Amino acid sequence: MSSLKAELMGEHLPEFTLVLPNGWERRAPSDEVRDEMLAAAKRRLMQAHRPDLYGQTTALINKLFAEMRRVETVAFFGPAATAPDEAFLPATLTASLQRGQDGEALDHAIAQLIRSEGATPLGDDKRFLRWEQDAVENVDGTRVATTTVVYFTPVPGTGRTRALRFTLVLTHDPAQEGDEEFTTGLKRVFDAHLSTFAWVTS
């Protein structure tokens, strides 16, 4: 598993394992996957008699894939086409490669994340720094609230010049009853899954 930029630079990103939610799988951040997601979303919304949400959903999916093209994304995680209904959560998870400026170590960036973003270890797991941000934005004429949780861990053997950055984005409606409890529950679920992360050693 590697990005095109890493391949061109002759770099190798170690493989990793991660236990995913039931029905989820790891996929490439490709246009084909995007089109499959759009088709699946349309089908499910029609079955749920909610065609009114298709425009909003399309905008969110297109935004996600545009962002994945902007950064050095190496993997995308989501429900398989044949996944059970409970696997289709209002959540996306991506993994991207982050580099130190001019090949320098990421120590300064890490210190800045702790100061400015309030980044802390993932519970007792000191391998990860974790922080989150809340935002409200206008998507296709609809106000959408998102909670973004970032998990940041150095790539071994790089002298802390590269790190793997998992980005979880939860879409929700703060005006809906029980929204805070639901969002908190989802964050706990994904925290638990990220704690299963492990580099594959030969």
Average pLDDT over residues 42-57: 78
Task: For residues 174-185, give the mean pLDDT.
Answer: 90
| Cβ-Cβ contacts under 8 Å for 60 (sequence gap 6 or more) | 139, 144, 171
Domain count, the chain: 1
pLDDT for 138 equals 75
Please report the pLDDT score of residue 33 as a whole number: 84
pLDDT of residue 8: 34
Q: 138: domain range?
A: 21-197
Q: Give tens-digit pLDDT for 4-37.
A: 444 434 467 899 999 999 999 998 888 888 888 8
The listed range with the strongest mean pLDDT (4-13, 41-50, 95-104) is 95-104
Does 124 reside within a domain? yes
Identify the DSSP state of 149. E
Q: β-strands 142-154, 125-139: how paired?
A: antiparallel
Closest CA to 142 of 35, 37, 63, 42: 63
CA distance 11 to 99: 12
Mean pLDDT of 96-118: 91
Residue 24 confidence (pLDDT) = 96
By mean pLDDT, which of 33-42, 69-78, 93-102, 112-121 is the weakest? 33-42
In-domain check, residue 11: no
More confident residue, 202 or 191: 191
CB 160 within 8 A of CB 109: no
Average confidence (pLDDT) over 32-57:
80
Please check whether residue 129 lies inside any domain of the structure: yes
pLDDT tens sequence across 131-177: 999 998 776 666 778 899 999 999 999 999 999 999 999 988 888 88
CA-wise closest residue to 95 among 9, 10, 197, 189: 197
- The β-bridge relationship of strands 91-99 and 162-172 is antiparallel
Quick check: is 7 in a domain? no
In a domain, 143, yes or no: yes
State residue 36's pLDDT score. 85
Q: Is 8 a domain residue?
A: no
Residue 1 has pLDDT above 60, yes or no: no
| pLDDT surpassing 60 at residue 105 | yes
Predicted confidence (pLDDT) per residue in 63-85, tens digit? 888 888 888 999 999 888 788 88
Residue 3 lies in a domain: no
pLDDT higher than threshold 70 for residue 93: yes
Rounded to an integer, the average pLDDT of 178-194 is 95
